[in-house]
């Protein structure tokens, strides 16, 4: 009888201990959730944007300034300018989204305008708490008034102002008749690598011009040891991402459609290849119809290295803080996850190791000492 009591007592104590551990774990989980929901994201200054297009981030004040440089009179109202620069909620797909680049590109055909645009974008990023960014653009799209690709890149580098924390990614463009222009972009990236330029990219209409058509071009980038990211899995699916990885991409621009393939998720996680997610942009282009359907948690929970970015601040009407707030308000993103997302961006940056360490220290300092409301 005493033995039975001892057995039951032992079982009870084990059960109570297990319950206590569970309660403690649950309290920790809810505490983390409470912390992140109470962080004032607007006050953070440890943010990073690895995927932001120069021509897609021309705000209305920037457009007015660039028009002045170009001697162009903009007689439209601010509402009309906004309509020319930003997609509506009725945007149907990526191809329609890309139409919004036509107007800002007309303002970026002079060296002075390109320099000023980069300078103004960085000033805006600094005011938004972005401590590091990689601004991308396609030099070949800025040659309409006689500039060479090299002159375009030189003008953009001038706009950086020798910053260690804002760099350039040069985009090759998807197309059927621009192979030589893409080869020139790669050669210029090699010339200015480490002098303001940190990487290459492949951008444009992914569905119309599949990634597999550009395998040969990027062999030259590999020969030059130029790191690169590739837009893949934005408008096209798993095969596009697989091809980008095969080509040697160190990061994947967007890559959100990887979430529809268990094999692709596993490959990204196993190879530690970061995704440059751009939630609002993906909503605009109808990758998903509702933010609640955005598969970020599936990617995170399966070990994929996820980063959060803006893509095109003006075209999508967003900022890096808006992107983070949108996710925090929608998903169970706790303090640990937020910190990991920012650390992922620091580690994925095409930056020197010393810069990456500085970025990570800043993230830890801010999130460990943030003021809660």
What's the CA gap between 178 and 220, in Å, rounded? Answer: 15
Supply 6's token pair: 């001892």
The pair phi, psi for residue 175, each rounded to 5°, is: 175, 180
Would residue 234 show up in a list of annotated catalytic residues for this protein? yes
What's the CA gap between 45 and 18, in Å, rounded? Answer: 41
Catalytic residue among 116, 206, 234, 276: 234
Nearest CA to 33 out of 335, 338, 372 is that of 335
- DSSP state, residue 99: G
What's the CA gap between 26 and 105, in Å, rounded? Answer: 52
The pair phi, psi for residue 137, each rounded to 5°, is: -165, 165
Which residues are catalytically annotated?
Answer: 234
């Amino acid at each position: 009888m005493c033995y039975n009591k001892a057995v039951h007592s032992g079982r009870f104590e084990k059960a109570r201990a297990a319950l206590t551990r569970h309660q403690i774990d649950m309290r920790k989980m809810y505490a983390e959730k409470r912390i992140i929901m109470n962080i004032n994201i607007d006050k953070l200054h440890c943010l990073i944007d690895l995927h932001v297009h120069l021509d897609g981030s021309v705000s209305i004040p920037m457009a007015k300034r660039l028009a002045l440089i170009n001697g162009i009179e903009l007689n439209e109202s601010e509402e009309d300018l906004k309509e020319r620069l930003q997609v509506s909620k009725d945007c149907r797909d990526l191809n329609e989204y890309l139409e919004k680049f036509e107007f800002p590109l007309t303002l970026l055909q002079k060296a002075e305008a390109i320099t000023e645009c980069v300078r103004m974008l960085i000033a805006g990023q600094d005011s938004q708490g972005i401590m590091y960014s990689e601004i991308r653009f396609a030099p070949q799209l800025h040659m309409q008034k006689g500039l060479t690709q090299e002159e375009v890149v030189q003008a953009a580098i001038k706009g950086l102002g020798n910053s260690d924390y804002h760099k350039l990614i040069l985009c090759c463009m998807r197309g059927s008749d621009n192979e030589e222009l893409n080869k020139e972009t790669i050669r210029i990236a090699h010339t200015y690598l480490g002098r303001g330029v940190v990487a290459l990219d492949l951008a444009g209409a992914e569905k119309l011009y599949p990634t597999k058509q550009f395998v040969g071009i990027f062999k030259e980038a590999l020969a030059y040891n130029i790191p690169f990211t590739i837009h893949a899995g934005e408008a096209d699916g798993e095969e596009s991402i697989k091809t980008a990885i095969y080509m040697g991409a160190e990061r994947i621009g967007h890559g959100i459609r990887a979430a529809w393939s268990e094999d692709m998720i596993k490959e990204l996680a196993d190879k530690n290849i970061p995704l440059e997610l751009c939630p609002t942009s993906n909503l605009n282009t109808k990758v998903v119809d509702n933010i609640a359907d955005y598969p970020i948690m599936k990617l995170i929970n399966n070990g994929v290295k996820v980063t959060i970015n803006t893509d095109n601040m003006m075209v999508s009407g967003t900022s890096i803080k808006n992107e983070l707030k949108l996710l925090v308000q929608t998903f169970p993103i706790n303090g640990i996850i937020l910190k990991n997302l920012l650390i992922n961006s620091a580690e994925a940056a095409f930056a020197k190791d010393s810069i990456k360490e500085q970025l990570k220290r800043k993230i830890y300092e801010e999130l460990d000492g943030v003021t809660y409301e």
